[in-house]
Amino acid sequence: MRQISAAYNKAVKELLREKAALFWTIAWPIIWVVIGSFSFTGSAPQEVIPYIKGSITISMMVFALMIAGMSNLPASIAGDRANGLLAKLMSMPIRPYRDFIGRISAVITLSLLAAALVIVIGIAVGARFTGAGIEIAQAIGFIFLVICASAGVGLMAGTLIKNLQGAIMTGVGIAVITSAISGLFAPYEVLPAPLQMFARIYPISSAQASIVNLLAGPDMVAYNPLTSSQIALTIALSFVLLIIGTVLYSRLGWKLE
Partner 1 sequence: MFAVHVENLVKTYGNRCVLDGVNLSVLEGQFYALMGPNGSGKTTLASIIAAVRTPDSGIVEVYGSKPAQAKELIGYIPQENFSSPKLSGKENLMYFASLLGYSRIEANRLVTEMLKSVGLSEEADKRVAKYSGGMRKRLEVATATFPDIRVLILDEPTTELDPAARRTFFGMIQEIMNKKTTIILITHIGSDAELASKVGLVDNGRMIAEGTPDELKRKHAVEDVITVETAAKADNVVRVLSNFSKNGKVAESGAGYRIYSQNGGKILADVVRSLDQAGYKVMRIEMARPTLEDVFFRLTERSLQEEIG
| Min separation Cβ 14 and partner 1, Å | 5
Examine residue 18 and tell whether it contacts partner 1 (CB under 8 A): yes
Helix segments in the chain, DSSP class H: 2-17, 19-22, 28-39, 49-67, 73-82, 85-90, 96-124, 134-160, 164-181, 193-201, 203-216, 228-248
> By the 8 A CB rule, do 79 and 30 touch?
no
Q: How far apart are CA 243 and CA 188, in angstroms?
A: 28
Give the range of 3-11, 140-148, 174-182, 207-215 binding partner 1 by CB under 8 A: 3-11
Smallest gap, in angstroms, from Cβ of residue 173 to partner 1? Answer: 24
**What type of residue sits at position 3?**
Q
Min separation Cβ 200 and partner 1, Å:
40
CB of 93 to partner 1, least distance (A): 4
Answer for the pair 179, 66: CB distance below 8 angstroms, yes or no: yes
Task: Check residue 87 for interaction with partner 1 (CB under 8 A).
Answer: yes
Q: Which of 31, 39, 44, 84 binds partner 1 (CB under 8 A)?
A: 84
* Among 5, 163, 165, 227, contact with partner 1 (rule: CB under 8 A): 5
Nearer to partner 1, 95 or 219 (CB): 95
Report residue 217: phi and psi, to 5°. Answer: 105, 150
Residue 96 or 126: which CB sits closer to partner 1?
A: 96
Nearer to partner 1 among residue 134 and residue 256 (C-beta)? 256
Q: How far is the CB of 89 from partner 1 (least distance, A)?
A: 8
Q: Which of 85, 120, 137, 232 binds partner 1 (CB under 8 A)?
A: 85
Q: Which of 55, 37, 36 is nearest to 211 (CA)?
A: 55
Mark residues 88-107: x for contact with partner 1 by CB under 8 A, - for none.
Answer: xxxxxxx-------------
Q: How far is CA 235 from CA 24, 45, 199, 202, 210, in A?
A: 26, 35, 14, 11, 12
CB of 165 to partner 1, least distance (A): 16
| Site membership for partner 1, residue 240 (CB under 8 A) | no
- 62-81: which residues touch partner 1 (CB under 8 A)? 80
**Binding interface with partner 1 (CB under 8 A):** 2-3, 5-7, 9-10, 13-14, 17-18, 80, 82-85, 87-94, 256-257
